Structure 1
Amino acid sequence: MTVGKLTSADLERLVLSQLEKSRPETMNLPGIGEDVAYIDFGENILVLSTDPITGATANAGAIAVHIACNDIAAGGGEPIAIMLTLLAPVDVTEDQIIEIVRQARTAAREQKVDIVGGHTEITSAVNRIVLSTTVIGRAIKVLTGPKIGDAIIMTKLIGLEGTAIIADDMPEMKDHLTEIEMKQAVAMGEQLSVIKESQIALKYDVHAMHDITEGGLIGALSEIVFHKDYGVEFEYEQLKIAPVTQKIADYYQIDPLHLISSGSLLISLPPDQADQLVDSLQEAGITAAIIGRYTEKAGARMIKDDIVIPVEPKKGDELYRVIS
């Protein structure tokens, strides 16, 4: 099988089709493009999410915390506590474990969440460090999904996380990028949290939010509309791709629209509120733009040079073509 997340079709066929609801507290079952679970305890609704980190090494502890907390925030929740599992190969050093935990602790402090448990194990089952993070949060608003006609706002830049990981982990980048470009690329790893923008967005009539993770922008939009009775169109000219990201993409001959982009958030809301939300985000120092809309026609499409182009996710994130 291809390295990376299962395709939406394979995930549906192999995993999701086997799951069923048996408890009244469970508000939703897993679905394509749905990254959180809501559990109704009466006075409070619990929101849960889990994420692995398999593609990064240099700053894996911090990335593990930010990515999992992002799912809670994008699901309309406030992250509260984290369970962190660390599986390490037999050649790991004590200093590596200490550094990963230090990174995770620092990121958790920044996000105002506590690491309350987990599991740490040395195992021959992996050949590099694997982290898995489960986050527990409190729902502020249960988001039910995009509506036809909604505007789509994207925050920050295309390929944020992928750019930072490649710059950090690939030795040849020290020769390919200038010193300034290297600093710009690595600094993107400091923009991986979407908690601030999600909190701003929740002040509006937001219908859905989605953190752009593995598979990049096209993967995220394709997941959202997979097997739905609505589709999505976005405008290429409205996307923001940093020059250093494009330079890295050109070097490895990869497409930044399929590159993991944690730290960028897709927000769905009524079009008459979109401009105001963009203004609010920019006033808070967060780059944002209206990139498209949800449509009656199913599927995902990109508009480039006035040409409508159907788009589909690739099998595996572009990051794996670089690091594998």
Structure 2
Amino acid sequence: MDMEKFFPVGKLPAPLLARLLAKAPVEDPAVLLGPGIGLDCAVVAVGETLLVYKSDPITFTTDKIGDYLVQVNVNDIATTGAVPRWFMVTLLLPEGRTTVDSVETIIDQIYAACRHINVAVIGGHTEITQGLERPIGVGTMIGEVSRDHLITPRGAAPHDRILLTKGVPIEATAILAREFPGMLEGTLSRVELEQAQNFLHDPGICVLRDAQVALQAGRVTAMHDPTEGGVATALWELAEASGCSLYIDPAVVVVPPLAARICQALELDPLAAIASGALLLTVPPEEAAAICSALKEEGIPCTEIGEVQVGAPSVWCKTPTERALLPRPKQDEIARQQNTRCYF
């Protein structure tokens, strides 16, 4: 069997995904935003209210899977300016490894995370499934937004400034410290390992508050949540969704010292590792300073990392000489580092 015919762990190649999504039956006029590269949510008009839908799985971790599941789904809802309201969850649990305690732990995490953001859990599905090594959770978050407050990645426009909150890769740091602590022996002390494990909560992988503060402070043209493939993939998705060229300075992208040490020790590119917890925003030039300031006043670090430019969808980065095309990751750095072991 020719292994070259099989895809590596991670997202489908963008050209293939674009071709598949182009075939989707979305003729219903109530569908205001359907599937597309960089378009993480669907938007459906119901009277004067818009309902925003997001589905996302957690396949790479068993620890705190319920927390992850809620937060990664609410993040994409937040990028549209919508208020998260309802959540549905499907849990596929491994045969021969699932106990009452393990199921209750996951469910309790989901309920607690939803209560924290005032979201109702309205249904879903659970089952014991053959062939799994770990639990798989799939969530669908539904939010509400008015027509005049909807934001999509298509809104980014030339001359907008590109902002990034917190830093990267927050989620990768938490995953590596929680799931593979043995790999970090000799790199981190016990206290530092615990700090890295706590990246799930501090600085945290939820960007709901980031989005809310930014929207209250000024005009935001687009937001995007960097997940698998890191901020590099997110920038490419934003470029494709908006039809613009992006120019960034990698030197100003914040990588927390602990995250930088982990990435260096494991030879990971911090810009290409799963990065929930950071929020990409594009804002008009005259709004950038006020929005950055408002976020910082709320204890949310924010950095201007580049600008939106006229040009074909692409991502360029500043170099010591001039500029170069930012490589689009073929797969997330954790998946690449683990090679044939599947964590996504």
Whether TM exceeds 0.5 here: the answer is yes
Q: Which runs of 5 or more structure 2 residues have no equivalent in the other structure?
A: 1-6
Q: CA deviation at 1:183?
A: 2.4
- Which of 167, 176, 179 aligns to 1:169? It is 179
Aligned residue for 1:18, secondary structure, equals coil
**SS of residue matched to 1:172:** helix
Aligned to 1:320: 335
Partner of residue 67 from structure 1, selected from 67, 72, 82: 72
Determine the structure 1 residue equivalent to 2:3. none
CA displacement 1:85-121 (0-9 Å, x = unmatched): 1101102222221111111112111121121111111
Identity of aligned residues (%): 34
1:196-240 Cα offsets, whole Å, 9 max, x none, are 111112222111100111110100001111276421011112111
Q: Secondary structure at the match of 2:268?
A: coil
Distance in 2, Cα, partners of 1:105 & 1:86? 14
- 2:284 aligned to which of 257, 262, 270: 270
Which amino acid in the other structure matches residue 129 of structure 1?
A: P
Contact persistence 1:75–1:142 (CA under 8 A): yes
Structure 1 portions without partners, runs of 5+: none
Q: How far apart, CA to CA, are the structure 1 residues paired with 2:111 and 2:183? A: 28
C-alpha change, 1:312 and 1:45, in structure 2 (3 Å) is: same
C-alpha deviation, 1:24, in angstroms: 1.8
The amino acid across from 1:115 in the alignment is V
Matched with 2:4 is: none
Closer, same or farther in 2 for the Cα pair 1:164/1:7, shift >3 Å?
Answer: same
User: Does 2:262 match 1:251?
Assistant: no
1:143 aligns with 2:158: no
For residue 183 of structure 1, give the secondary structure of its aligned residue in structure 2: helix
SS of 1:128's equivalent in the other structure is coil
Do residues 209 (structure 1) and 214 (structure 2) align?
no
Give 1:297's aligned residue. Answer: 311
Q: Does 1:133 align with 2:143?
A: no
Q: Which amino acid aligns with 2:32?
A: M
State the TM-score, normalized to the length of structure 2. 0.90
Q: Is the 8 A contact 2:43 2:52 kept in 1?
A: yes
**C-alpha separation between the residues in 1 aligned to 2:164 and 2:241?**
23
Q: Does 1:123 align with 2:129?
A: yes
Mapped to 1, the partners of 2:171 and 2:295 lie a distance apart of 20
Partner of 1:233: 247
Query: Which residue is 2:119 aligned to?
Result: 113
Alpha-carbon separation, structure 2, partners of 1:125 and 1:214: 24
Alignment of 1:30-69 (within 5 A): 30-69=35-74
Residues 157 and 242 in structure 2, CA contact (< 8 A), matched pair in contact too = no
Residues 55, 322 of structure 1: alpha-carbon distance in 2 compared, 3 angstrom cutoff: farther
CA contact (8 A) 1:232 1:295 kept: yes
* Residues 80 and 150, structure 2, Cα contact 8 Å, conserved in 1: yes
**Residues 44-72 of structure 1: CA distance to partner in whole angstroms, max 9, x if unpaired?**
11111110111122111100000000100
Q: Kindly provide the amino acid, as one letter, of the partner of residue 14 in structure 2.
A: S
Give the direction of change, closer, same or farther, for the CA distance of 1:306–1:281 in structure 2 (3 Å limit).
farther
Letter matched to residue 84 of structure 1 = V
Deviation at 1:247, TM superposition (A): 1.5
Q: CA deviation at 1:322?
A: 4.0
Q: Aligned partners of 1:272, 1:289: CA distance in 2, in Å?
A: 15
| 1:133-157 Cα deviation digits (max 9, x unpaired) | 0001101521242011110110001
| Contact in 2 for aligned 1:158/1:261 (Cα 8 Å) | yes
Secondary structure of residue in 2 paired with 1:202 = helix
Aligned residues: 323
Aligned residues of 1:50 and 1:134 also touching (Cα < 8 A): yes
Distance 1:184 1:153 in 2: 26
RMSD: 1.5
Q: 1:178 aligns with which of 189, 200, 203?
A: 189
AA matched with 2:222: A
The list of structure 1 runs, each at least 4 consecutive aligned residues, that deviate by more than 3 angstroms after superposition, is: 304-307
